[in-house]
Amino acid sequence: MNNNAIERTGNNDKAIKALDDEWRLMNAALERLGQVEAREQSPARRGARLIFGLDLTGSREASLRHAQIATAAMFDTIKAIGAVAVKLVYYRGSECRAGAWHDDPGVVSAAMLRLSCKSGYTQIRKVLRHALNEKEPLSGVVFIGDHCEDADDGYELDDLAVKLGQKGIPIFVFHEVRDQDAGALRATPIFEHIAEVSGGVYTEFRPDSGAILRELLATVAVFSTAGHEGLKQVGQPLTPEARQLRGSLLLLTEGNPGRFDFLRPDGPAKGGK
C-alpha cells in the first residue's frame, strides 16, 4: 500500500471514495459521542499533552490508513471539548523519530498522512524512554502497535512502564490483533503488563476496524481534555471495545476524579484533588 498523502486525481477515485466513506462513519460516531453536550456541560482541561507512539513496521502497512483517519477523528472530537497537544513518536526500519508538539489538527493529520511503513524490529523501549525524558508534563502515552520484539529488553520495558506510572503518566495500549497472528499473541501479555503497571489501559482491535480505533482514540482524547467528569457526560460509544475502555478509565479515577489534574500546567481543576 502507498501510504503517502492522497492527491485528488482521477487515478485515486476509489481511494478518495473510501476515505470519504470513512469520514462519514467518523462523523456519525462523533455525534453519538455527544461532543456538543460535552462542550456545553464539561469544563475543558487546558494544556493536556499526549505522546502518540506508532509502530510503523512492515506488518502494519495494511492498517495504517485506519490509524491515519482515526487520529484525524480524534482531533475533531477534542476541538469541541478542549485543547490537547500531540507529539508523534514512531519507529520503522532502523529509525525512531519524534516530532514537535502540535495542537493544530490540520498539522498532525497532514503529518500522519505522510507516514509510511518500513520493515524492521519494534523499538517500543525508545518510545517509552522518550516519554520518560519528556520535559513537558504529559497526560499519557498512546501506543498503537501489533508486535513486541523488544522481548530481550522485557525487564527494561517493565522498568520504564513502572517509572512512567510513578510519574502519573499512564500508557494506553491499543493492540492490533489479527486472526492467528502468533506475533500479536506473544505480545499480548507484555502489552497488558506495561499498561497495568503504568496505571493505563490495554485494549485490542482488529486491523480492519477503523470505527473501533476512532472511538478508542476519541475516548482517550475526552479523558485527557475533560477528565473523569467530562467522560461521564459524553454519550456511550457505539463499539463494545470503546465502551469497555470508557468503563476502565472511569474506574481509574473512581473516588478521585482529579487524579491526573496535577499534570495540568495551570494546576488542579476546581474541585479536583
pLDDT in the model for residue 236: 83
Core vs surface per residue 21-49: b (16+ CB within 10 A) or e: ebeebbeebbeebbbeebbeebebbebbb
Domain region containing 219: 15-263
Per-residue burial over 144-168, b = 16 or more CB atoms within 10 Å of its CB, e = otherwise: bbbbbebeeeeeebeebbebbbebb
For CA atoms 215, 216, 222, 227, give the dihedral sign.
positive
CA 128, CA 162: separation in Å to the nearest integer? 11
Backbone angles phi, psi at 266, to 5 degrees: -95, 10
Question: Which residues contact residue 238 at a Cβ distance below 8 angstroms, ignoring those fewer than 6 apart?
Answer: 29, 32, 211, 215
In a domain, 3, yes or no: no
Decide if 173 contacts 143 (C-beta within 8 A): yes
How many domains does the chain divide into? 1
Kind of pairing between the strands at 201-205 and 140-145: unpaired
Within-domain flag for 270: no
Q: Is residue 229 part of a domain?
A: yes
CATH assignment at residue 24: 3.40.50.410
Quick check: is 273 in a domain?
no
Residue 4 lies in a domain: no
Contact assessment for residue 263 and residue 139, using Cβ atoms and an 8 Å cutoff? yes
Q: Report d(CA 72, CA 110) in Å as an integer.
A: 9
Instruction: Cell numbers for 73, please give them.
Output: 477523528
pLDDT of residue 82: 59
- Please indicate, yes or no, if residue 272 is contained in any of the structural domains: no
Mean pLDDT of the chain: 75
Q: Is residue 113 part of a domain?
A: yes
6 within some domain: no
Alpha carbon separation from 14 to 7, 62, 218 (Å, rounded): 12, 16, 27
Q: What is the pTM of this model?
A: 0.75
Given a cut of 50, the residues of the chain with pLDDT beneath it are: 1-12, 15-16, 18-20, 22-23, 25-46, 261-273
User: What's the farthest any 2 CA atoms get from each other in the chain?
Assistant: 56
